[in-house]
Amino acid sequence: MATPTPLPPRTQVPRHVAIIMDGNGRWARRRGWNRVRGHRAGIDSVRAVVREARAAGVRYLTLFAFSSENWGRPQREIAALMGLLRRFLRVEVPDLKRNGVRVRAIGELRRLPPRALEAVRWAEDETREGRDLDLILALSYGGRDEILHAVRSALAEGVRPEELDEARFRGFLYAPDVPDPDLLIRTSGEMRISNFLLWQLAYTELYVTPTLWPEFREAQFREALADYARRERRFGLTSEQLAGGGGG
């Protein structure tokens, strides 16, 4: 066995990690199983990554659990996913609560089946005192939806065009207090954003791994954190400026 990747020093740990948890279906199909079995296995990865994120000192973890486009999947698969969501919350919330994790949800939550929505609200309520890690579930979430929702809210509030700058706009997003992701992880090798956090990802570091979500566990998460720790984020500036040299 290779020695496990150590956690980076706290100063190099991303404050906000966002994950596109992809590849459950392929993982199951490769074994000749139903796609839903892949989603079920993916829950164990969620549990592992939440634990590891907390241990590493990540402050916000956003998980893409169900996209606005995923409503187009077969009814059976949607129902199974909603059932898994409810079961995950019911089983995990006591532990999350004990560990200082606050569960939040972003997305067009009104579209969720009533019992799923109820479970989400219950989890948010139960864990609202959590201070160590915000676990943000993107459910029925689309980046374009979120931007449209923000624009509509601004118009409804009567914000004048000249008042609407980036800071003001941010206030109309689903979770305005949450800083932009520092690191975006996508599993299963797909090199696309799939309508996730379009506004917030402007300067996020991207990490794509061929590992399928059900096989993405503690070790793979640590590897992603280690990769992030080696990056130089420049935000459009020069390396010299960032080193404090002024850049001349």
- Nearest approach, Cβ of residue 124 and ligand IPE (Å): 19
Number of residues assigned to the chain: 248
Given candidates 62, 127, 188, 211, which one binds ligand IPE under the rule CB under 6 A? Answer: 188
Considering CB distances under 5 to 8 angstroms, the limit depending on partner class, which of Mg ion, ligand IPE, none binds residue 20? Answer: ligand IPE
Instruction: Give just the sign of the alpha carbon dihedral 119, 124, 130, 131.
Output: positive
Our finding on whether 35 is near Mg ion (CB under 5 A) is no
Compute the chain's Rg from CA coordinates. Answer: 19
Q: Which of 22, 134, 145, 182 is catalytic?
A: 22
- Nearest approach, Cβ of residue 243 and ligand IPE (Å): 38
Given candidates 17, 20, 50, 103, which one binds ligand IPE under the rule CB under 6 A? Answer: 20
**Alpha helical stretches, state H, the chain:** 24-30, 35-56, 75-98, 114-126, 143-156, 166-170, 218-229, 239-242
Our finding on whether 89 is near ligand IPE (CB under 6 A) is no
Given candidates 190, 206, 219, 238, which one binds ligand IPE under the rule CB under 6 A? Answer: 190
DSSP output for 143-178: HHHHHHHHHHHHHHTT--GGG--HHHHHTTSSSTTS
State which of positions 65-84 bind ligand IPE (CB under 6 A).
65-67, 69-70, 81
Please say whether the beta carbons of 182 and 204 come within 8 A. Answer: yes
Our finding on whether 107 is near ligand IPE (CB under 6 A) is no
Judged by CB, which is closer to Mg ion: 66, or 228? 66
Three-class secondary structure of residue 200 per DSSP: coil
Our finding on whether 22 is near Mg ion (CB under 5 A) is yes
Count of Cβ atoms closer than 10 Å to residue 118 Cβ: 13
Candidates 15-23, 109-117, 159-167, 211-219; binding stretch for Mg ion (CB under 5 A): 15-23
Residue 195 among the catalytic residues: no
Residue nearest to ligand IPE (CB): 25
Q: Would strands 16-20 and 101-106 be described as parallel, antiparallel, or unpaired?
A: unpaired
- Nearest approach, Cβ of residue 237 and ligand IPE (Å): 32
Judged by CB, which is closer to Mg ion: 174, or 196? 196
Count of Cβ atoms closer than 10 Å to residue 99 Cβ: 16
- Nearest approach, Cβ of residue 47 and ligand IPE (Å): 16
Judged by CB, which is closer to ligand IPE: 57, or 104? 104
Residue 70 among the catalytic residues: yes
Q: Count Cβ neighbours within 10 Å for each residue of 39-65 and write b for 16 or more, e otherwise.
A: bbbbbebbbbbbbbbbebbbbbbbbbb
The maximal CA–CA distance of the chain, rounded, in angstroms, is 61
Using CB under 5 A as the criterion, which residues of the chain lie in contact with Mg ion when the complex forms? 22
Q: Which residues are catalytic?
A: 22, 70
Using CB under 6 A as the criterion, which residues of the chain lie in contact with ligand IPE when the complex forms? 20-26, 64-67, 69-70, 81, 188, 190, 192, 194
